[in-house]
Amino acid sequence: MDRWLFAWRRLKGRLWFRAALYALVGVAAALLAVVGAPWVPEDVADRLGGESVEQILTILASSLLAVATFSLGAMVTAYTAVSSAATPRAASLVTSDEGTQKSLATFVGAFLYAIVGVTAINANYYGAEGRAIIFLVSLCVVALVAFRLLAWIDRLSSLARVGHIVSVVEARTHEALHDRRRRPFISGREGVLKQGALVAAGSTGYVRNVDPQRLQEVAEALDCEVQVIAPPGAFVRRGEPLARISLKTCEDDIRRQFVSAFALGPTRSFDQDPRFGLIVLGEIATRALSPGVNDPGTAMQVIGVGVRLLDDWARTPPDEAEDQVCSRILAPDIAAHDLLSDVMDPIARHGVTDPAVMIRLRKGLWSLAKGAAVFEPAVRRMDQHVLSRCRQATAYKPDFNTIEEAVP
């Protein structure tokens, strides 16, 4: 993903960004109403430019601060509930949820609009024409607030539900899997450089994004090839290699150019790291299978989601268009058995004592193998491990027989 697009998506996902944007729009609407005053007919100004506009703004200012505070508290409660019921790795999806951000941003923006509007009216900033415009804008703001409030109430009914979080994680993971499948080698091609200078990381953390276009531009300028050693999701320590280039030496200015294509952070990201989404799904299933939660239904739901995601990944053809290939980039592909292990291994370990979960797991594995041949070797190995674990953990022999006979 382009580094600027990645930075924009990260900024857009911050809770404060959309709220600040809406607040600026609200303040601008309140202050710029005087600009349209010359075009307001005199009879409209006489009818709408009275004292009622100040009362509307006063009501908005007095009520929306409490609404915004309540909404923020509800979001924090949902964040905490998701962290404990699902996994902390999925809790960030609550604050980055677009519907949640729009609701909170609308309340904050409308509150600031009302405050600025009341202040401007008391300072005699508007004439009768400007007050008429503020009246019409205030009616639109009231309608928008009412709509967002109803949407927020509907969002609260599902925001903290584990099933909803599973669906959100599935959507983000599907997007990352699809993009990576279309460009399996990060828009480059498969290959390994046996020798060359190493490009070391300047900090410690997870690789969150790699910009192939930036790597291609730098490699073309230096007339070399670059091999991505640390793809998205890899953890690197300061001084460990991010890439290898087909040059004998790598000076500091050259290294900085290549390092600028890598975005590192303290945590993994859903955007360009499909394995992270599968790991999060596995964690949700693990939490559901814990004795304190005891929710095998969620684990079965995750099995179905995992099969659906991996089947879609296997059926998506790579994009072989020449304009999508960066010819100077070499990168590794994602192994099918790694994808399968990320989401299914935790369920096989923690659900081994539940026959219903194990039966659902084995059926899901073999249905995936029948529909996607690339997973068949990995499914066979995992199924053998599942039966071995069940044989050791299941004290009641008929239960093991049921698990074993679930797949003919």
CATH of the domain at 255: 3.90.1170.30
Same domain assignment for residues 294 and 208: no
pLDDT-derived band of residue 94, with 50, 70 and 90 as boundaries?
A: confident
Distances (CA, A) of 257 to 223, 250, 384: 14, 11, 48
150 and 16 within one domain = yes
Distance separating alpha carbons of residues 240 and 59, to the nearest angstrom: 59
pLDDT score of 70 more than 70: yes
165 found inside a domain: no
Q: Is 105 a member of any domain?
A: yes
Phi-psi region of 187 (alpha: psi -120 to 50; beta: other; left: phi over 0): left
d(CA 140, CA 125): 21
On whether both 143 and 198 belong to a single domain, the answer is no
Indicate if 92 and 65 belong to the same structural domain.
Answer: yes
Owning domain of residue 194: 185-265
Q: What percentage of residues in the chain have a pLDDT greater than 70? A: 93
Residue where a domain terminates, one of 160, 175, 194:
160
Where residue 156 falls among pLDDT bands split at 50, 70, 90? confident
99 versus 325: the higher-pLDDT residue is 99
SS3 assignment, position 235: strand
Determine the Cα–Cα distance for residues 111 and 64; give it in Å rounded to an integer.
6
Q: With a cut of 80, say whether residue 396 has pLDDT above it.
A: no
Model pLDDT, residue 37: 66
> Is the pLDDT at 310 greater than 90, yes or no?
yes
Mean pLDDT, residues 103-109 taken together: 84
pTM, rounded to two decimals: 0.83
Average pLDDT over residues 140-152: 88
12 and 154, same domain (yes or no): yes
Task: Identify whether 55 is part of a domain.
Answer: yes
Exposure of 98 in the CB half-sphere (CA atoms within 13 A): 4
User: Does a structural domain hold residue 9?
Assistant: yes
Question: Are 108 and 206 in the same domain?
Answer: no
Q: What order do you get walking across the sheet with 226-228 strand by strand?
A: 197-200, 241-245, 226-228, 329-330
Same domain? For 146 and 52 the reply is yes
Does residue 327 lie within any of the structural domains?
Answer: no
Residue 300 pLDDT grade (very low, low, confident, very high; cuts 50, 70, 90):
very high
Mean pLDDT of the chain: 84
Instruction: Determine the average pLDDT of the residues in 277-301.
Output: 90
Q: What is the pLDDT of residue 21?
A: 78
Residue 343, pLDDT score: 93
Smallest CA-to-CA distance from 71 within 105, 27, 120, 119 is with 105
pLDDT at 387 over 80: yes
Higher model confidence: residue 385 or residue 24?
385
DSSP letter string over 12-57?
A: HHSHHHHHHHHHHHHHHHHHGGGGGGGGS-HHHHHHHSSTHHHHHH
pLDDT of residue 46: 62
pLDDT at 50: 63
Q: Is residue 167 part of a domain?
A: no
Rounded-to-integer distance, Cα 280 and Cα 284, Å: 6
Count of domains for the chain: 3
